[in-house]
Amino acid sequence: MSRHTFQFGSATIDYELQFLDRKTLGITVTPEMSVIVSAPIGTAIPKIESRLTKRAPWILKSISYFMAFHPKTPNRKYISGETHLYLGRQYLLKIILGEEESVKLKGKHLIVNTIKTINARPLIENWYLSQAKNKLHSIALPLIEKFKKHKVAPTSIELRNMPKRWGSCTAKGKIILNPELIKAPKGSIEYVITHELCHLIHHDHTQKFFDLQSKEMKDWEKWKTKLETLLA
């Protein structure tokens, strides 16, 4: 594959071009926001870019769509007074030095009891992971039950740190969720899980996929926007 760019208004769009033994030109936007063009052998570049220009609004919309699945949570400091997210709400971090090592929510505070301040970060990260293991599965269960009417169910649900994805669905039906989702509102978590459950039925982002997603979660765009803005 060779790399190319073309201009559409003020946007510069990069794409990877491959020539294949096929009759028509295909354009794919991957979840990693790469644009891949598969063209019949011998197709002229001007003809390819003419087609790309016509499809540019769809390409940019698809890139924007997948951007919601790219975690961009800002770095947080692990000192008293800093805010940390949990299920879409901001909590003030309060570090208390003592003999105990624990993390808990109390009112508007995330309270960390620790022997040394330097221990606050690993304590909080472990707490987030523990919460993710419990909460993400409990949020997923009713959605999985709901999808049984389509005669589908994930083979398993796994948590995995993914720098570029909020969730994914494997060819064998395993749904993988990023534990960082525990920082997002419940509705945004439901949106990501619903999105992956839809992939058990429609593997690609076709119109049928989006129709199903809208049918199963009418306000998914609202929660997608919250995910983009709150964790951006």
Q: Rounded to 10 degrees, what is the CA torsion of 110, 166, 160, 215?
A: 110
Which domains are delineated in the chain? 2-67 (no CATH), 124-230 (3.30.2010.10)
Return the exposure string of 193-227: e unless at least 16 CB atoms fall within 10 Å of the residue's CB, then b: bbbbbbbbeeeebeeebeebbeebbeebeebbebb
Question: Which parts of the chain have pLDDT scores under 50?
Answer: none
Report the predicted TM-score, pTM, of the whole model to 2 decimal places. Answer: 0.71
Dist. CA 93–CA 104, nearest whole Å: 10
Residue 74: its pLDDT value, please?
Answer: 56
Type of residue at 31: P
Q: Contact at 8 Å (CB) between 131 and 110? A: no
Query: How high is the mean pLDDT of the chain?
Result: 91
C-alpha pair distances (Å), 190 with each of 5, 58, 66, 178, 196: 36, 25, 16, 13, 10
What are the pLDDT digits (tens) for 59-112?
988 887 777 666 655 577 899 999 999 999 999 999 999 999 999 999 999 999
The tokens of 158 are what? 């796994």
Residue 64: its pLDDT value, please?
Answer: 79
